[in-house]
Structure 1
């Protein structure tokens, strides 16, 4: 019996030892797997945290960009409103300028029509609806009256002097029968006088108009001789008046006065808008600058 018990005990110990060994091996394998799992989980958590931080930063950048876009949009909307106001203002000015151009063209047509109807009265005097040539004393009074009328009526600025048929008739009787015949150049350059002769001044006058590209008219006023110029296509007109010299040694000076800028209203330089006084030696420079501005209109 003792041998049997001894064999059974040995067999029990072997089974127990083998079972304990298998259990220890299993526990060790599970521990290794759990350790690997925890390491993988920790690595994944760190990766997710990094990705979350990156997404938070990107979201903040996108929010800042959105705020910047909204600010730019607001600025652009304000700029668009300003452009719309500017467009409306420019459209209004364009309409006003078109109306002014239309008026100036009508005035030009009237001026050409009046120039074409120049006639010679029965006393040998040259008359036209644009103006009447009088003696120096009579011209002084008429010019003074015109000047007062132009100062009172702002609409008269920009228009050439016009003498009506009534005014012409009122001055017809002021001339004496022995007055000399007066020559007047028409728009085509033809000279009309009592003898229907050719005058070199007419040719020179016409040549000046061709060179400068403007219509000229010489008028004698109380302040002195005056040259009135008109650029027909733009409506730009001005006067040049000979100023009285205090002494013979002083150089001749001229006074520039603009009547109307016409279509040059927006592009005209400052000197064209103001009254200027310059010496006769500066005339070439003056007409060169006028021609350069007129050339922009072509």
Structure 2
């Protein structure tokens, strides 16, 4: 009987020792797993910090590119304004010169000829006399000036007026076709009494809009008529009523052209 109890006690003790060994082994495995997870989390945090740094660098680069782009636009706008001012000054100067030349009548030319003394005729005086004769022969008479003033004057509706007759004006029509070719859209000019507006229509996509010139602020007003097939790729500003200055027209049509090309 004692032997039986002893064997049972020995078996229980062995099982207890075995369970304790398994417990220690399990604790060691859990500790190893915990340490591995800590290392993994630490690595993720390091990766997160690196990504944040890269994101900050990219944001700085984007902001710098944006500032450079705006500076480039401002520089180009300034150059355009400068060239426009030079062109206006040159045009005004040419108009002033032409007006002065037209004001000089044939009578004024005849009243102030180069006088040559008949007693002393030299080769130089003969040359000057010939010049005076040539200038007198090239003077445009009043009848010719009046005839030129009756030349056809083109209206904005591609018609010309000669006296009481109205005929077509091909130069204005060709200018209209040139504008359509540059804009890659059909356009219709509405020169109303209050506001000047131009309607644009793109046949391939059905996209159409109207630009109205606002005289007081000196801006173009954009108003959408239809997006057509560009509705899926159209940006937000194309769907809204916006205003922009004359200097931004080139950029406006460039962006419109890019979107139409994608469509």
With normalisation by structure 1, the TM-score equals: 0.35
Higher helix share: 2
Bigger radius of gyration among the two = 1
